[in-house]
Structure 1
């Protein structure tokens, strides 16, 4: 199932009609400081909470980790559709896949449109991010391909 999902994402991102490239950035204004804010995710997949608790926003015993990942996509997609000048980057495909499976066809079509126009971009390509503090290349490969971490103690 994961392989089919990745294939569909790749097909969406690299389709012939895709306009997702550096050329779709906002124009640069000469002689001014041009600042580009790029909102993105960094949602841990099972670090302090279970994957379900992060996704649904449950278990509020950890006050600074009380986000519900599903709500990020529930609010970002309509906001991107309402304003074509906005962009968003999503990283953790484990959460996106789960959210995608719950969506109606209209929402899926809207997401495809956002990917094609470059408003919604998926980066990293892994099921989740690898540990960036004491990472070893085998841990990175496992994290990007399987979504599992290899703890390395310094």
Structure 2
């Protein structure tokens, strides 16, 4: 556990350190967790430990994809996302229904910034209902909270 805590508290600047208050706020919503640099990093580590990080990787990849302005880059990236996450039997296949998969397959031929939105909503919902509650109950999160609380008590 020190790996995570030490990573987040090694900086000398107080505003760049992980605080107990910030960490406690992660339990308010998945959005709050993902909106925190440290929360996102901790959640990703948790998902990797469970061998279920494809959803967060897909979601983050889609967030980056939406920022692409070049149509050539968008087309290339859309194909890569499809091949890596959406296509049946892909290396990091996400859990979406057949209909959504087929819709994306069509949209990737003429991609727009929104072509993965439906799959992204589905994946976010899966994380919110499944991975996120498991994270909040995990030893990783509990130990991090306890460690930060102990640090606060010593100050």
Q: What TM-score, normalized by structure 1, do the two folds share?
A: 0.25
Greater relative contact order (CA < 8 Å, ≥ 6 in sequence) = 2
Query: Going by fraction, where is helix more abundant, 1 or 2?
Result: 2
Provide the TM-score with structure 2 as the length reference.
Answer: 0.25
Larger Rg: 2
